[in-house]
Chain A
Amino acid sequence: MYVAGIDVGSVAAKAVVLELLPNGGSQIAGRAVLPTGWNTAEAGEFALNNACEAAAMARNDLRHVTATGYGRIALPFADKTVTEISCHARGAAHLFPRAGLVLDIGGQDSKVISLDIPREAEAGSLDAVRLDASGGTASLGALKSASKPGAVRDFLMNDKCAAGTGRFLQVLSGILNMPLDELGKAAATGKPVAISSMCAVFAETEIVGLLARSTPPQDIAAGVFRAIARRMCALARRIPMQGECVFTGGLATSPAFAAILSDELGLTVQVPHDPQTVGALGAALIAADLCAKKDRALNTQQ
C-alpha cells in the first residue's frame, strides 16, 4: 500500500511516495523535486506524478495524499493539508530519532522547530520509535515527555521579510551569475566580507557597491553565507538547544552553507540525505499515520 506527501514551496515542489510495509513500518519508494514556477497546482501535480513514476506505481494506488507548504491549499487532489512546521518536524524525527531541533531554510522563510525527544530515543531503543507510526498523544509542556515522534514543542519563524532565507541567496546568485553549488564552492574559499544589510533589497545595493570596489566574488559569497547563518543562529538561540540539530530545506543542499552554519552554531548540524524532501516525507508519514488510525478504528468497530 502506498501513501504520498507533497510539499509545494515558493521555489520548489517536492513529493515523496511511501510504501507501507506489512510489519507496520514504511519505506520511501520514490521522490521528486521540481521548480514551482508560477502555477502552484500544476507544479504539485507534476511532482506527485514524477514521484509515483520513480516509485514505479500507479497514482490511483495512492491511498492518501497529505499536502504541505505554501501551495498546500491549491492542490485539489490532497486528502488533507498540514503545515510545513508539523511536516518538517515529523520528517526530521523519522530520519534522526534523537532530533531535538530542526532548522529549515526555505525559499521565503526560515524556521526553528523544537521537538519533544521521545523517551525511547533518549534511552537508545530507536527501532521502537521508528515503528511507532501513530500512537501516543502530543505533549504540551516542556516537562511532559511525548511518545509520538516529531511532536512539536515550540517553533519560531522569521518575520515577514526575506532576510535570512533562500530568497536572499537567490539575489546573490542573480548578481554573481552563479548557481547555488558554485556559490557554495566560492564561499568555501572566500574570506567573508561584512554584509551589514539584512534586507534582501538593500543587500543587493550593498553587493553591487562591493563589486564596484573590486571585492572578489568568493569573498562576497562567503560574506552572504555567513550573514544568513548568523541570522539563523539568532533565531535558533531563542529556543533552548537540546538533542541533535537537523538542518533541512533547500539551503541544506549546500555542504558549504551547512559547514558555515555549524561553525556559527558551535555544533555540527545533521543534514539528511535529501534535505529538500524532509517536509514531503513528513507529510507522507502523517498520511501513513492517518491510514493506520482509520484501520484501527475499523478494526475496533468490527
Chain B
Amino acid sequence: MKCASFDRIITAFEKNALAVQEAKREGKKVVGQYCLYSPSEIAVAAGAIPVSLCGTRNDSIPAAEEMLPRALCPLIKSSFGFALKDSCPYLSAADVVVADTTCDGKKKMYELLAAYKPVFLLQLPQVQNDDALAYWRHQFELLIAYLEKEFGVSITEQKLRDAIKLMNRERMALKAVMDLAKRKPSPITGMELLEIGFKTSFFPDKEKGISMMLELADDLGKMADAGQTGVAASAPRILLTGVPVGMGSHKVVRLIEECGGSVVCLDNCSGYKKTRVMMDEQGDPLTEMARRYLDVPCAVMSPNPRRYEAIKELAADFAVDAVVDLTWQGCQTYAVESSSLKKFVQESLQLPFLQIETDYSETDTEQLKVRIEAFIEML
C-alpha cells in the first residue's frame, strides 16, 4: 500500500547517490559492503558510512563475463560487472570494500576486485561454534586495526557500543516495516517490502533512514487499522527464502505476486535476516558482534541449523501457506541445501514447497510462470 511516507523513501533514494557524494565532501569516509556478514557497526564506530554495493542488476553481467566464467552465479557477476564498468555510485564513493569469504565464487571474485578497490577480506569461518567465534572475533579486531590506520581514527569500546545501539535501532525500524506483513491481509506487498529493504540499505544518514522507516511502519499500521488493505485477503501467503534479492533481481517476487500470491516474508540477507542480528548492548561489544554475525544462517555454513529454526519460526509468525526457495544459478550452497530444506518444510512444517532456480535475465519468465502459477493453484 503506497502512502506519503513510502514515497518519501523512494524520493530520498533517487537523490541518494548525491547524498553520499555530499557526505564525502564533508570529509566522511565510505565503507562499501556486499554481504550481511560484514559488520556495519565497525564502519559506524570508525566514523564512516557503511553502504550496500550494487549487485542486483542484469545489465552489468555481460561486462563481467569477459573475465568471469559464465556459469558463475549472477549476483557475483553483477557485482563485479559494476566494478568493471565503474557504474555503481556507491562503489565509486567507497574508500574501502569490506568483504567476506562466504562462497568460493565470491572470495575469488574479491581477489579480482582488489585491482579496482582496496578490499579488506574478512575470513569467515563456515561453522558456528566457539572456536569459530574466537576466530571471527579476531577477524573483527583486524578490521578495526585496518580501518583505524586507513582512516586515522581510534575505534574505542564506547564507539562500538554506540554503533551497536544505532544499528539495533535501524534493525528495529526495518523489523517494524517487515512485521506489518504479519497482519492478515498484509498492508504491504512483497515487492514493496523488497523495495523498502533494498533502498534504505543505501542511505548514508542512518538516523534519517530510521525515522523514515518508523514513519512508514506507523502510517501503514494506521491505514491497516482503518481497514485499508494492500493485498487481497484470499491471496496465499508465501515465505520466500534463499538467495539475496534486490531491485533488478526481483523477478520471482514480482511473478509470485502477479500469479496471485502474497510474499509476506523475505527470509534472505536483503530482508528479514537483517532484522534478526539484534545485539546485546551490555556485554563485550566485539564478542557480541562476532556472535550475532556468525549466527547468520547462510548456506555457506555447514551445518546450517539456524536456517531451519528461522524458517519454522517465520512460517508460524507470518502464518504462511507455502515456502518458495530461490536459488541463483551457480549458487551451489543454496542449490544443494534446497533438498534438505524441502524435506524439512514438507515433512516437519507440513507446508507446500517450491524451489526455483534462475538468474537475473528475463529469458525464462514464461517457464517460471507455469511453475509459480501451478504452485499457487495447488494451494
In the complex, A213→B371 CA distance in Å?
Answer: 42
B350 touches A143 (CB 8 A): yes
Which partner residue on chain A sits nearest B357 by CB separation?
Answer: A159
Q: Which of B321, B322, B351, B374 has the most CB of A within 10 A?
A: B374
In the complex, A273→B5 CA distance in Å?
Answer: 61
Q: How large is the interface on A (under 10, 10 to 19, 20 to 34, 35 or more residues)?
A: 20 to 34
A86 touches B374 (CB 8 A): yes
Query: A33-86: which residues lie under 8 A (CB-CB) from chain B?
Result: 70, 82-86
A141 touches B377 (CB 8 A): no
Query: A151-171: which residues lie under 8 A (CB-CB) from chain B?
Result: 151-155, 157, 159-160
Give the chain A neighbours of B321 by CB distance below 8 A. 140
Shortest Cβ gap from B67 to chain A (Å): 25
In the complex, A159→B352 CA distance in Å?
Answer: 20
In the complex, A82→B370 CA distance in Å?
Answer: 9
A141 touches B370 (CB 8 A): no
Q: Contact check: which of A82, A109, A144, A153 meets B377 at CB < 8 Å?
A: A82
Q: A143-B350, A157-B371 are in contact. Are A138 and B378 (CB under 8 A)?
A: yes
Which partner residue on chain A sits nearest B347 by CB separation?
Answer: A142
Please encode chain A, from 80 to 96, with 1 for each CB lying within 8 Å of some chain B CB and 0 for all others: 00111110000000000
Give the chain A neighbours of B371 by CB distance below 8 A. 85, 155, 157
Q: A83-B370, A159-B357, A160-B363 are in contact. Are A142 and B350 (CB under 8 A)?
A: yes
In the complex, A109→B374 CA distance in Å?
Answer: 14
Which partner residue on chain A sits nearest B359 by CB separation?
Answer: A160
Count A-B pairs with CB separation below 8 Å: 55
Which partner residue on chain B sits nearest A138 by CB separation?
Answer: B378
A83 touches B373 (CB 8 A): yes
B377 touches A140 (CB 8 A): no
Give the chain B neighbours of A86 by CB distance below 8 A. 374, 377-378
Shortest Cβ gap from A132 to chain B (Å): 19
Q: A159-B357, A160-B363 are in contact. Are A141 and B351 (CB under 8 A)?
A: yes
Please encode chain B, from 359 to 376, with 1 for each CB lying within 8 Å of some chain A CB and 0 for all others: 000011011001101110
A85 touches B374 (CB 8 A): yes
Any chain A CB within 8 A of the CB of B346?
A: yes
A152 touches B357 (CB 8 A): no
B377 touches A85 (CB 8 A): yes
Q: Contact check: which of A140, A142, A143, A157 meets B367 at CB < 8 Å?
A: A157
Shortest Cβ gap from A154 to chain B (Å): 7
Q: Contact check: which of B351, B366, B378 meets A152 at CB < 8 Å?
A: B378
Any chain A CB within 8 A of the CB of B134?
A: no
A140 touches B352 (CB 8 A): yes
Shortest Cβ gap from A79 to chain B (Å): 16
Q: A140-B350, A140-B351 are in contact. Are A155 and B379 (CB under 8 A)?
A: no
Which partner residue on chain A sits nearest B373 by CB separation?
Answer: A83
A138 touches B364 (CB 8 A): no
Shortest Cβ gap from B331 to chain A (Å): 14
Shortest Cβ gap from A205 to chain B (Å): 20
Q: Which of B347, B363, B366, B370 has the most CB of A within 10 A?
A: B370
Q: How large is the interface on B (under 10, 10 to 19, 20 to 34, 35 or more residues)?
A: 20 to 34
In the complex, A151→B378 CA distance in Å?
Answer: 7
Give the chain B neighbours of A70 by CB distance below 8 A. 366, 370
Which partner residue on chain A sits nearest B371 by CB separation?
Answer: A157
Which partner residue on chain A sits nearest B322 by CB separation?
Answer: A140
Q: A109-B367, A154-B346, A159-B357 are in contact. Are A140 and B379 (CB under 8 A)?
A: yes
In the complex, A239→B322 CA distance in Å?
Answer: 18
In the complex, A153→B374 CA distance in Å?
Answer: 11
Give the chain B neighbours of A83 by CB distance below 8 A. 370, 373-374, 377
Shortest Cβ gap from A241 to chain B (Å): 16
Give the chain A neighbours of B364 by CB distance below 8 A. 160
Which partner residue on chain A sits nearest B355 by CB separation?
Answer: A156
Q: Which of A83, A109, A152 has the most CB of B within 10 A?
A: A83
Give the chain B neighbours of A141 by CB distance below 8 A. 346, 350-352
Shortest Cβ gap from A157 to chain B (Å): 6
Query: B185-224: which residues lie under 8 A (CB-CB) from chain A?
Result: none
Which partner residue on chain A sits nearest B374 by CB separation?
Answer: A85
Shortest Cβ gap from B202 to chain A (Å): 32
Please encode chain B, from 164 to 192, with 1 for each CB lying within 8 Å of some chain A CB and 0 for all others: 00000000000000000000000000000
A155 touches B374 (CB 8 A): yes
Give the chain A neighbours of B350 by CB distance below 8 A. 140-144
In the complex, A84→B366 CA distance in Å?
Answer: 13
Shortest Cβ gap from A4 to chain B (Å): 19
Please encode chain A, from 123 to 162, with 1 for each CB lying within 8 Å of some chain B CB and 0 for all others: 0000000000000001011111000000111110101100
Which partner residue on chain A sits nearest B358 by CB separation?
Answer: A160
B377 touches A152 (CB 8 A): yes
In the complex, A138→B377 CA distance in Å?
Answer: 9
Query: B318-370: which residues lie under 8 A (CB-CB) from chain A?
Result: 321-322, 346-347, 350-353, 357, 363-364, 366-367, 370
In the complex, A94→B16 CA distance in Å?
Answer: 58
Q: A138-B378, A159-B357 are in contact. Are A85 and B370 (CB under 8 A)?
A: yes
In the complex, A159→B358 CA distance in Å?
Answer: 9
Shortest Cβ gap from A196 to chain B (Å): 19
In the complex, A84→B378 CA distance in Å?
Answer: 12
Shortest Cβ gap from A88 to chain B (Å): 10
Q: A138-B379, A140-B352 are in contact. Are A157 and B370 (CB under 8 A)?
A: yes
In the complex, A153→B346 CA distance in Å?
Answer: 10
In the complex, A109→B366 CA distance in Å?
Answer: 12
Q: List 25 A-B contacts (CB under 8 A).
A: A70-B366, A82-B377, A83-B370, A83-B377, A84-B370, A85-B370, A85-B371, A86-B374, A86-B377, A109-B370, A138-B378, A140-B321, A140-B322, A140-B351, A140-B352, A141-B346, A141-B350, A142-B346, A144-B350, A151-B378, A152-B374, A153-B378, A155-B374, A159-B357, A160-B364
Q: A142-B347, A152-B378 are in contact. List 16 more A-B contacts (CB 8 A).
A: A83-B374, A84-B370, A84-B374, A85-B371, A85-B374, A138-B378, A138-B379, A140-B352, A140-B379, A141-B346, A141-B352, A143-B350, A152-B377, A155-B371, A155-B378, A157-B370
